[in-house]
Amino acid sequence: MSAKPQILIVDDKVENLISLETLLEGFDVEFVRALSGNEAIAKVLNHDFALAIIDIQMPGMDGYETVTLIRQTAKGKFLPVIFVSAIYKEDFHVVKGIETGAVDFISKPIDGRILRGKVKVFLDLYLQKRELTRLVREKEIISEQYRIAKEKAEAATRAKSIFLANMSHEIRTPMNGIIGMADLLAQTPLTEEQKDYLATIIASGRNLLNIINDILDFSKIESNQVELENIAFNLPAAIDEVIKILTIRANENNVALNVILADNVPRYIKGDPLRLKQIITNLVNNAIKFTYEGSVTVDVGVEKDGDQSVKLLFKVIDTGIGISPEGKEKLFKAFSQADTSTTRKYGGTGLGLAISKSLCEMMDGEIGVESEVGKGSTFWFTAVFEKVPPSEIPEEKPEAEVIETQMKPLHILLAEDNLINQKVAVANLKKFGHMIDIAKNGLEAVEMARKSCYDLILMDIQMPEMDGYEATTIIRAEEAEKGTHTPIIAMTANSFEADRERCLAIGMDDYISKPFRINDLVSILKKISQKS
């Protein structure tokens, strides 16, 4: 394409063409001449013209016929055409020219000022059109580049998720053996020295597991794999659970844990209790870590009370070492702590506050801190929850009733390929009088489920021969024909939300992530025991 706009001038006399070029002198254009209608059509097929100026009276093919044929070509369909004529001046010919497809009609002798004015208009329109076309093409190129970059980013995210899922499984499997065996060993007669060593092993294992969980949580949030639940729950009870879990650590630091709930804070709210407890746990745990012989207080109030929702303000107030202004700027950023010595002295990944910030934002809230070195810190966050109508308040059993519930012995099929994890699970299950059969892979699990009637199947996911997904699918298909249903619980080191959803989608009844706490397993066994 020529850099300059091109104008097609058509006349059977060369002197008329020269005259037109002279009249339009000064325009930054390129003129293309045609001495006949046929030549004009050929030129249109091979050029992208800004404008055509065509004489009407020509031998062989007049201007009307020429324009009619030009309009039938792709490049000439919308080409602006100005007719010029020394003979045809009547309105009839002007109308005929317009109907043929011309945009204007000029009689000879041509007034140069009029012609230049009209040409300028169409040149401006052409240049605007060309610039618009350039911008559209540029946008298409950018869009294509964005699409390619997006696909690469998504592929990288998928690869990262697969890597983390595999690493999670590979790390959690031996961690289950370490923590499980340590818990079992703790229940045997030990000397005080042995108890001290064992407590160190268990604490180190739990700390390593917390680090793994932080990294996985951050990865899930980063790749938008976290979806919040929206269920009714007891807020004071949720906070009390956090306090109970962290009381032992607080006592080690001589820290008193307190909870203050304003009178107008609703007892029941609707949201994600697990993620709320995760935020509070992160903040309280940090407060305990940096406080000695002082106090940590969880203060909850109402920031905004609406008809259907409530915005709560949570404060975690400590009397600890405080944070410098420079340190505060680094908070809430991934893998960051107030200063480099913090990690060495107090430990941690620096992910807890970054995770909490993301979760707060998902709850339509925000997070911040007020602190002064030597005078403690106040970490605060807000979150929006739905109000719970009286009819939707969940029924809660007294804690004593749950504790006193006894389990009857169950016949359990354990599908697990790892020998150490087999030992951990069997040892824990046999303590409650359960009978255990072991399948080393999914294929054996399917065969054993066909031959025996089990009260429960504990199904690992990643196994040789046949994985837990396929084994469960086959068992459920065969049960559908018989009209039976055996509870199947996924007990796996795969810990992503997508893994849990897939387990439930194929017909599993529940999900436990390794390394599991014995209380979680006992809770599920009690439910099964009560139903069977």
Cross-strand pairs, 313? 301, 382
Res. 160: pLDDT tops 50: yes
Residues 244 and 311 occupy one common structural domain: yes
Residues 212 and 274 occupy one common structural domain: no
Looking at the 3D structure of the chain, how many domains does it have? 4
H helix intervals, 187-233: 192-222
Res. 334: pLDDT tops 70: no
pLDDT of residue 155: 83
The pTM for the full model equals: 0.52
In this structure, what is the dihedral angle of CA atoms 72, 74, 80, 82, given to the nearest 10 degrees?
-40
- Which residues contact residue 109 at a Cβ distance below 8 angstroms, ignoring those fewer than 6 apart? 86
pLDDT of residue 493: 66
Question: How far is 275 from 242, CA to CA, in rounded Å?
Answer: 12
Higher pLDDT, 500 or 490: 490
Q: What is the CATH number of the domain that holds 212?
A: 1.10.287.130
Going by their DSSP bridges, the two strands 30-34 and 81-85 should be labelled as unpaired
Q: Note down the domain range covering 73.
A: 6-110
pLDDT of residue 405: 44
pLDDT of residue 103: 81
Q: Does any domain span residue 72?
A: yes
Question: How far is 174 from 452, CA to CA, in rounded Å?
Answer: 30
In this prediction, residue 497 has a pLDDT band, given cuts at 50, 70 and 90, of low
Please state, in angstroms and as integers, the Cα–Cα distance from residue 22 to each residue in 15, 121, 199, 230, 463, following that order. Answer: 10, 18, 101, 78, 87
Q: Does any domain span residue 150?
A: no
Residue finishing a domain among 338, 361, 392: 392
* pLDDT one-digit tens code per residue, 18-51: 999 999 988 999 999 999 999 999 999 999 899 9
Q: Does any domain span residue 445?
A: yes
Please state, in angstroms and as integers, the Cα–Cα distance from residue 59 to each residue in 37, 44, 101, 341, following that order. Answer: 9, 19, 20, 95
% the chain with pLDDT above 90: 41
Residues 361 and 412 occupy one common structural domain: no
**Region of poorest pLDDT, from 110-114, 329-333, 334-338:** 334-338
In this prediction, residue 346 has a pLDDT band, given cuts at 50, 70 and 90, of very low
pLDDT of residue 212: 74
Across 342-495, where does the E strand assignment appear? Answer: 367-371, 377-387, 411-415, 435-439, 456-459, 488-492
* pLDDT one-digit tens code per residue, 231-284: 999 999 999 988 888 888 888 889 999 999 999 999 999 999 988 998 998 899
Q: Does any domain span residue 388?
A: yes
Residues 204 and 178 occupy one common structural domain: yes
pLDDT of residue 400: 38
pLDDT of residue 303: 95
In this prediction, residue 415 has a pLDDT band, given cuts at 50, 70 and 90, of very high
Residue finishing a domain among 168, 193, 222: 222
Residues 334 and 191 occupy one common structural domain: no
Res. 172: pLDDT tops 90: no
The answer to whether 8 touches 21, Cβ cutoff 8 Å, is: no
Q: Does any domain span residue 151?
A: no
In this prediction, residue 520 has a pLDDT band, given cuts at 50, 70 and 90, of confident
- Helices 112-186 and 192-222 pack at an angle, to 10 degrees, of 160
Q: What is the CATH number of the domain that holds 249?
A: 3.30.565.10
Q: Does any domain span residue 141?
A: no
Q: What is the CATH number of the domain that holds 427?
A: 3.40.50.2300
CB-neighbour burial class of residue 108 (10 A; exposed 0-12, middle 13-18, buried 19+):
middle
Residue finishing a domain among 201, 222, 243: 222
Instruction: Please give the structure tokens belonging to residue 374.
Output: 């030597």
Res. 361: pLDDT tops 60: yes
The answer to whether 242 touches 284, Cβ cutoff 8 Å, is: yes
**Region of poorest pLDDT, from 41-50, 306-315, 421-430, 460-469:** 421-430
